[in-house]
Amino acid sequence: MDERTLARARKILSDPVRLHAYQAALEQVCAGSVVCEIGVGVGALSLLALRLGAARVYGIDSDADKLLLASQVISHNGFGADRFIPVRGRSTRVELPERVDVVIADVLENAARRRNVFSELADARRRFAAPDAAFIPSKIELRVALSRPGAFRAESEFWDAELFCRFEMDFGAVVPALRDRMHMLELAPEDVVSYWAALRRIEFAHPDSERASDPVVLEVRKPGRVEGVCIAYDAELIEGVRIGNLPAEPVTGPEQGFQPFSRPLVCGEGDLVAIDVAHEARELDLASRVRLVPAPSAAAFLANLEG
């Protein structure tokens, strides 16, 4: 079992808000149900489902070591091979011997990393979920805002200036690489410089419910340097059970996704930043097509979009 998997499992299991929320959701649907979990990890949610009365759980994971460990954990907790059935492979490529009543997928962190989790669960809905199957989470809304995170600026300055000032070592070439990748940061409310806007909404049990905003238009409310866009989620695990990670009101998982722009923008209050998003890509593209619309042209730009 690799260190990254254990670290992620520890993060989930040490977050009581998140774990209690999943337990509250599973309590509503697991008794007597056939369940599958996509991405088993160490088996925590599969074990919860079995403790709450699931008839059996199919645990899907492409990593054989994870499946072995999850099977051992679940066995140590008193559930035999007839109750937890490991299935190795990607969920989009495996077959199950029966339709399932509940689909569990802890995809919240991946969603915040801008990974396209929706197609994977849409495949589960088509191929092995019963017509009235419950999905946990049942709904996710991704939200985006413009940001200038202090943590990202400090990291950039370390490579670009601090090393040179202290040791005369020029590592400035690292900064473009920092801007080319996704970061998970604990954002402070003051790091956010626009209002939050909906990026994508989906209700997993109903394919026609998916709504995507394209382009996403964000209005600057704190002028100055804008480094990129941050991503947070508001999720309904099941009716009446919600969790989210907006930085102003952290509920679970204090980190948010942050995608830097290839070059920072200098914006005035009331300027618009429009981002064309490729929703069908494996990862949502939030940085390649960014347009800055100065405040005097904002009204005309919005009217043109509506037209």
CATH number of the domain encompassing residue 26: 3.40.50.150
Domain assignment present for residue 122? The answer is no
Domain assignment present for residue 28? The answer is yes
191 and 281 part of one domain: yes
Domain assignment present for residue 59? The answer is yes
Interior/surface letters 78-112, b for 16+ CB within 10 angstroms, e for the rest: ebeeebbbbbeeebeebebeeebbbbbbbbbbbbb
Domain assignment present for residue 257? The answer is yes
Per-residue pLDDT for the chain (307 aa), expressed as one digit of tens each?
567 677 767 777 788 888 899 999 999 999 999 999 999 988 999 999 999 999 999 999 999 999 999 999 999 999 999 999 999 999 999 999 999 999 999 888 777 776 777 778 888 999 999 999 999 999 998 899 999 999 999 998 898 888 888 888 888 888 888 988 889 888 888 999 999 998 888 888 775 555 666 689 999 999 999 999 999 999 999 999 999 988 876 667 678 889 999 899 999 999 999 998 876 666 677 777 899 999 999 999 988 887 6
Structural domain of 17: 3-106
Structurally, the chain folds into a number of domains equal to: 2
Domain assignment present for residue 157? The answer is no
Strand, helix or coil for residue 269: coil
15 and 102 part of one domain: yes
91 and 145 part of one domain: no
Domain assignment present for residue 206? The answer is yes
Candidates 24, 26, 37, 51; CA nearest to 100 is: 37
Domain assignment present for residue 123? The answer is no
We report the CATH number of the domain holding residue 282 as 2.70.160.11
Strand, helix or coil for residue 86: strand
79 and 186 part of one domain: no
CA distance 121 to 89: 15
Domain assignment present for residue 165? The answer is no
β-bridge partners, 289? none
DSSP codes of every residue in 89-119 = S-TTT---SS-EEEEE---HHHHHTTB--HH
82 and 145 part of one domain: no
78 and 213 part of one domain: no
Candidates 66, 10, 11; CA nearest to 184 is: 11
204 and 279 part of one domain: yes
Which of 55, 86, 106 is at the close of a domain?
Answer: 106
Q: In this structure, what are the phi and psi dihedrals at residue 139, rounded to the nearest 5 degrees?
A: -145, 145
Strand, helix or coil for residue 30: coil
Which of 106, 127, 158 is at the close of a domain?
Answer: 106
145 and 269 part of one domain: yes
102 and 208 part of one domain: no
86 and 8 part of one domain: yes
Which of 106, 133, 161 is at the close of a domain?
Answer: 106
Query: Which residue type does 23 have?
Result: Q
220 and 280 part of one domain: yes
90 and 197 part of one domain: no
